[in-house]
Structure 1
């Protein structure tokens, strides 16, 4: 599996993994900021997302293996690994499966527990777009607004649009497989999955993805974990409170 990645800067390897239905471009602004701290930032598209290959197979075990293979091919060692939402689950699994690869782990607004499927409306909206003859991004936004009222969420999803041919827009993700495998997105870590390295969990104060009662489960899998809440941020905490998110990550890397 040859993953696509946008590589920025020079220095210590820092891999960033996007969430479900996202892509590496979602992290470009923050990625550039992290290069100022002396990192070589790898913004990776996970399988079935962005410019990475489309496959019928889709699971956290496979996506963790993809990251290990990407690091092996690019001779990356002792990496900083950051993942948001689905990317956070991939990052957790990678650290547990390949602990010697990951020096420090950063998880954004996701816990190692099971989550019931909750993307149905978004997937319906994207299916509608996929079946439409779209000729402009504005038209796509208008159509998607019938399903998704939040402007920020629509803009996040519409980053997937590209010009497939002159005058015709299409979506980059492998929508059919992601719909078919949507139950995989919520899968919990197994009881054997443990990473004892330095770990930061960041959660949004307005998000319900990580709850107080999840702290003990986080500690079971990540005994060295530190939990930090970013106030007034929702699930897209890195976009809503980019400055605080950035500072929290840099402080953790430098001081722990």
Structure 2
């Protein structure tokens, strides 16, 4: 089963499951998890081939959704149905979970991704990480400097380096499988079902990952979908505007919980 981190304690409100994106980990969401845990239990997972979770030979969305179902099958008998929040790759995995195991969800929250295939490819980031010689790296700042030529964006480097364990000289990422299955990661499987439960799609106002052209595809699978955007932020909206993102998620869950 996936490694997961629990934040806070159970309350009368439905708990929240947080699912990170590509190259991320549960730890990346620590600030958001801590703040949202003031009202409810929050569980953050490491996806397969990321963080402290097991390494597998594939990174398909059916596999990832199955991993999430295993975690929730373990937790829901005690805690009940979860709100499920997923960002980017984690958002796609959460969408497929909702489409295949709606019984496990109180609601779905998708951060800056749509159920469509994308043309971008992040393999160059994998190459840069894998090619970095960690032998003489003693500090994360040294790794940052060594990656600068291949990854000019300081924010992207900072994000990736959260998965580097300098003392052990290893990455908490299965680079080979992530590269091999990149076409699956940027794609989205054909699905013949719908999720009729409440679904909230929140995007970065300046992100290129979500556009109005995606609305029809989203509504076809999630007929009750609601949409919102956070101005002045891009794809990593939870890191760029954490307070605004937290407020949007909190308001959504509060509204859904009030119906119960």
Instruction: Give the Å deviation of 1:136.
Output: 1.9
Counterpart secondary structure, 1:46:
coil
CA contact (8 A) 1:17 1:91 kept: yes
**Alignment partner of 1:68 is 2:65:** no
1:116 is displaced (CA, Å) by: 2.2
In the alignment, structure 1 segments of 5+ residues that lack a partner are none
**Partner of 1:26 in structure 2?**
28
| Aligned equivalent of 2:112 | 109
Q: Secondary structure at the match of 1:67?
A: helix
Aligned pair 1:161/2:164, yes or no? yes
Is 1:221 matched up with 2:221?
Answer: yes
In the TM superposition, what is the alpha-carbon distance from 1:8 to its structure 2 partner? 0.5
Q: In 1, Cα distance between the equivalents of 2:167 and 2:171?
A: 9
Q: Which runs of 5+ in 2 are unaligned?
A: none
Query: RMSD of aligned C-alpha atoms?
Result: 1.3
What secondary structure is seen at the aligned counterpart in 1 of 2:41? strand
Question: Which residue of structure 1 lines up, in the alignment, with residue 96 of structure 2?
Answer: 93
Q: Secondary structure at the match of 2:90?
A: helix
Tell me by how many angstroms 1:117 deviates: 4.0
Distance in 2 between residues matched to 1:120 and 1:90, nearest whole Å? 20
The 5 Å alignment of 1:169-208 reads: 169-208=169-208
Q: Secondary structure at the match of 1:148?
A: coil
Alpha-carbon distance in structure 2 between the residues aligned to 1:59 and 1:164: 31
Q: Output the CA distance in 2 between the equivalents of 1:210 and 1:112.
A: 10
**Quick check: which one's strand share is greater?**
1
Q: TM-score, normalised by structure 2?
A: 0.92
**What is residue 127 of structure 1 aligned with on the other side?**
130
In structure 1, C-alpha distance between the alignment counterparts of 2:89 and 2:161, rounded to whole Å: 18
Contact 2:121 2:182 in 1 (8 A): no
Q: Which residue of 1 aligns with 2:51?
A: 50
The equivalent position to 1:17 in structure 2, one of 16, 19, 23, is: 19
Provide the secondary structure at the position in 2 that maps to 1:253. helix
Kept after mapping to 2: 8 A contact 1:109/1:204: yes
Partner residue of 2:83 out of 58, 80, 90: 80
C-alpha distance in structure 1 between counterparts of 2:193 and 2:207, whole Å:
25
Could you tell me whether the CA contact under 8 Å between 1:117 and 1:182 is conserved in 2? no
TM-score (norm 1): 0.94
8 A contact 1:71–1:77 mirrored in 2: no
Shift of the alpha carbon at 1:158? 0.3
- Note the C-alpha offset of 1:164: 5.5
Match of 2:242 in 1: 242
Residue 121 of structure 1: how far off its partner (Å): 2.3
Number of matched pairs:
250
In 2: Cα distance, 1:189 partner to 1:80 partner:
22
